[in-house]
Amino acid sequence: MNDFETNIERCYLGIIPIKILKGRLNFKDTSDYLFAKELLKIAESLKNSDAVHLAFLIFDDYVLQEEDFGLLDIFFLDWHDAHEDIVFTVSKIRNCNLVEFFKKAINFIPSYMAEDDLHAIARKAFFGLGTNINCSKSLEYLNNYANSSDIVLKKFAIEQLEFLSRK
């Protein structure tokens, strides 16, 4: 593990704050949002899962901008373990351009979660579809899943539809 990775890990573990990490990685004068984007570049080049986690923790405070939705491609890579963080962060964003991401995320199972009977990623992706219920495709997908033969996914879809009908 190089100094870059050690510092990223220490920040992810809460040992050093993001502000200190930015200084150590020579991004002191960079906004937190742009730093998160840089962390994703670092993550991809080093295959560093902690950097992905940190980036999406930052994006959780600064809503991921539409022009940066391409950064979500990292979600579908199997070398990191930040899938739940990514889909959780993005599930709170209202934007119809995210609906297809949530649809794909529902059916994506990284290798380390192959035995996840709770379907944690899918559940969070369903929250994203619910957040974007005003998008016609989101409602269509929720209704399709509500009629699915997959009992777990059906339950998640019905849960979102019922929750949204109470609003």
Asked whether 141 and 110 are in contact (CB, 8 A), the reply is: no
pLDDT for 167 equals 64
Domain boundaries, the chain: 1-62, 84-166
Q: In angstroms, what is the C-alpha Rg of the chain? A: 17
Q: List CB contacts of 29: < 8 A, sequence separation 6 or more.
A: none
pLDDT for 116 equals 81
The reported pTM is 0.92
pLDDT for 137 equals 97
Choose among 102, 45, 110, 44: nearest CA to 76.
110
Tokens in use for 34? 């742009």
Q: List CB contacts of 4: < 8 A, sequence separation 6 or more.
A: 25, 42, 46
pLDDT for 165 equals 81
Asked whether 97 and 135 are in contact (CB, 8 A), the reply is: no
- Please list the pLDDT of the chain residue by residue as tens digits (167 residues): 679 899 999 999 999 999 999 999 999 999 999 999 999 999 999 999 999 999 999 999 998 999 999 999 999 999 999 999 999 999 999 999 999 999 999 999 999 998 888 899 999 999 999 999 899 999 999 999 999 999 999 999 999 999 888 76
